[in-house]
Structure 1
């Protein structure tokens, strides 16, 4: 079971890293929506860093949770139009 959790944690960490690279802010700069996008992106980055820290500590449960939460911030932001993201592929559900 630990091997499965480690594989899943690493896979989700890579997924979030790729998603962070692929997402760009969609609303025009200096608008409230651009500010909201920046805040969502910052949350995703923070969860990514937390996940990396937990993974380095072999805390797989908290690492996986952090990576999952981080991706959820990006995915939700993409669904409501805060981010331009690829419509094809495995990174987003939009």
Structure 2
């Protein structure tokens, strides 16, 4: 089981990192949607940092949860149109 948890944690960290690189804010920054996009991106980046902190402490369960939550913020933002994201591939569900 621990090897599976480690592999999954690695995969979700890569997924979140790649998704952050791929997502582009589409809403004008001075609008409420632009502010929301900034907040969604900040949440995703914060969860990435949290996950890396948990990983350093050998807390893979919380690291995986943080990476998953971070990706969920980006994916939700993409679904409501805050981000332009690739529609092909494995990064997003849109």
**CA positional deviation for 1:56:** 1.2
TM-score by length of 1: 0.98
**Count of residue correspondences:** 94
Structure 2: 5+ residue runs without aligned partners? none
Q: CA RMSD in A?
A: 0.5
Distance 2:88 2:18 in 1: 14
In the alignment, which residue of structure 1 is the partner of 2:57? 57
Counterpart of 2:47 in 1: which secondary structure? helix
Runs of 4+ that moved beyond 6 A = none
In the alignment, which residue of structure 1 is the partner of 2:10? 10
In the alignment, which residue of structure 2 is the partner of 1:74? 74
In the alignment, which residue of structure 2 is the partner of 1:44? 44
Shifted more, 71-80 versus 25-34: the winner is 25-34
